[in-house]
Amino acid sequence: MTVFLWFGGLSFVFVAWVFASPAIDYRLVALGAVVPSVELVFGGPWALHTLLAPVVAMGLIMMVFMGRRLVQRRWLGLPIGMFMYLVLDFDWTRTTLFWWPLFGWRADAADIPSWRPVPVLVAMELVGLGALVYAVRRYRLDDPATRRLLVREGRLTRAAMGPPPGTC
């Protein structure tokens, strides 16, 4: 069992809060934040649980879309989401796995993450759900036009990125 709302929901909220950019594709942020979980289904973790994966993804995006700043900025959501996964899964605490292959090609068995107890996974999902509820209110996703823009293009409007409703 993996926690998609924990990674996707919190990544969306953190990235929108920190970057406050209407040009990032927040769908790609959420996707990048859950993609490493796929490795666990196939007996991982492997490369997507290392610092190397988002760095390579970012480098590829910068090279493939060279000279097209807005396209780069939009696609940078994918590696940013992958970085968020590393933070939210505490992968940075597993030195050998996180820095692979800097310290050798074989990840230490002690660095392989273990499954969390089901109550912890449920709590994490509830926190992720809470983040998404917060996002609906904070980024005005209850407005059909704002929600449609997020679903179709992955963007938020500048107005939605501004101060929360009801504040000065």
Write out pLDDT tens, residues 79-124: 999 999 999 988 877 777 788 877 777 655 545 555 677 888 899 9
Residue 16 falls within a domain, yes or no? yes
Instruction: Kindly report the pTM of this predicted structure.
Output: 0.85
Residue 166 falls within a domain, yes or no? no
Mean pLDDT of 22-40: 90
Q: How confident is residue 166, by pLDDT bands cut at 50, 70 and 90?
A: low
Please report which residue ranges of the chain form alpha helices under DSSP H: 4-19, 26-34, 37-41, 52-64, 69-75, 77-88, 95-98, 118-138, 144-153, 158-161
Q: How confident is residue 68, by pLDDT bands cut at 50, 70 and 90?
A: very high
Distance of alpha carbon 113 from alpha carbon 94, whole angstroms: 8
Q: Is 42 helix (H, G, I), strand (E, B) or coil?
A: coil
Residue 52 falls within a domain, yes or no? yes
Q: How many domains does the chain have?
A: 1
Could you tell me which of 154, 141, 159 has the C-alpha nearest to residue 25?
154
Q: Where in the sequence is the domain holding 86, given as residue range(s)?
A: 4-161
Q: How confident is residue 1, by pLDDT bands cut at 50, 70 and 90?
A: very low
Q: How far apart are the first and last CA of the chain?
A: 42
Residue 84 falls within a domain, yes or no? yes
Residue 167 falls within a domain, yes or no? no
State the pLDDT at residue 39.
82
Residue 64 falls within a domain, yes or no? yes
- Which of 13-22, 38-47, 116-125 comes out lowest in average pLDDT? 38-47
Residue 151 falls within a domain, yes or no? yes
